Amino acid sequence: MNMTRIVVGVDGSDPSNAATQWAAREAQQTGATLSLVHAFDWDYYGARFDGGTVLREWAEDKANTTLAGAAALAAAVAPTVIVSRKSVLGSPVPVLLDAATDASMIVVGNRGRGGFGSLLLGSAGQRLATHAPVPVVVVRGRPDIGSGAVVVGVDGSPSSLDALAAGFREAASRSARLIAVRAYVPPTPPWGVNVEPVVYDVAERDAELHAELDEQLGPWREKFPDVAAEKLVAHGGVAGVLVGLSHTAQLVVVGTRGHGSVAGTVTGSVGLQLVHHADCPVLIVR
């Protein structure tokens, strides 16, 4: 049987443990296998140049202990999932990118011990999210995501339509409803002298966006008839709308690039605000 594989970066921190459990449940729901990957280095204060045998053995033992703990967590929540473990000498981003070449997804926590868990808070995280060959999930927010909806940011760009496809697959595997969201900031009413009037009617614009969402949802509703798909046109900043919905969602899905709107870019404000502030896991689709 040709099974998909989910890679999760582990470092033993609480967010990393939460990412491991989320990834194990995801593997169980989708029939995937789970690869636990831990990156480590033993070159402390130039020890590598002095041989550093003791330090290297200590680092390897610690890596094996970390992986064993993660495997136990995965088995506790998804006992039937096939789990593999791998410790690699190197830096987290290159190690994960290499491990994900034939994977279906990379999963990390939002914070950690300077390793995988903290990836999406700085430049290393941006590298992973923008260069990974597969979707990346940042597990953050509520430890128990419950039975909320899968929320997808849509702006009509190819990236956001890929996110919509992924959102339907995720909703189907969870027996969850899906909410497709289009957010925009209505024009400010004119004021002052010689100010141009508002160029479009907000109610008409809302109706147009509802129609666009209906068209974009159509093929996926046919492919996933058991998924209850809703649409939401919201007024406000995109990141703020999606973060607000994350408080009751079980997953927020966005693309890596869009029309400067909902899908945004992971290296821009929307993606970064989500991985910093969302109250549930965030799936970034390439």
Render pLDDT for 110-136 as a digit per residue (tens, 0 to 9): 875 555 555 545 455 566 777 788 999
Supply the range of the domain harboring residue 243. 150-285
Pairing between β-strand 136-139 and β-strand 282-285 as defined by DSSP bridges: antiparallel
Q: Indicate which CATH number applies to the domain containing 272.
A: 3.40.50.12370
For residues 182-206, average pLDDT: 75
pLDDT of amino acid 234: 96
Is residue 105 one of the residues assigned to a domain? yes
Total domains, the chain:
2
Q: Do residues 37 and 86 share a domain?
A: yes
Q: Do residues 28 and 75 share a domain?
A: yes
Q: Do residues 176 and 134 share a domain?
A: no
In the chain, alpha helices (H): 14-30, 53-77, 92-99, 123-131, 158-174, 202-223, 238-246, 269-277
Question: Could you tell me which residues are beta bridge partners of residue 253?
Answer: 152, 283
Indicate whether 240 pLDDT > 80: yes
Is residue 145 one of the residues assigned to a domain? no
Q: Do residues 270 and 164 share a domain?
A: yes
Q: What angle do helix axes 14-30 and 53-77 make, rounded to 10 degrees?
A: 50
pLDDT of amino acid 193: 59
Domain boundary among 110, 139, 168: 139
pLDDT in tens, 30-75: 999 999 999 886 555 454 555 556 577 777 888 899 999 999 999 9
Q: Do residues 262 and 177 share a domain?
A: yes
Is residue 160 one of the residues assigned to a domain? yes
Q: Do residues 157 and 101 share a domain?
A: no
Pick the range with the lowest mean pLDDT from 52-61, 198-207, 245-254, 255-264: 255-264
Determine contact, residues 37/9, Cβ cutoff 8 Å: yes
Is residue 275 one of the residues assigned to a domain? yes
Closest to 129 in 3D by CA, of 117, 142, 140, 138 = 138
Q: Do residues 174 and 108 share a domain?
A: no
What totals of helices (H) and strands (E) does the chain contain, helices first? 8, 10
Tally Cβ neighbours within 10 Å of residue 21.
Answer: 19
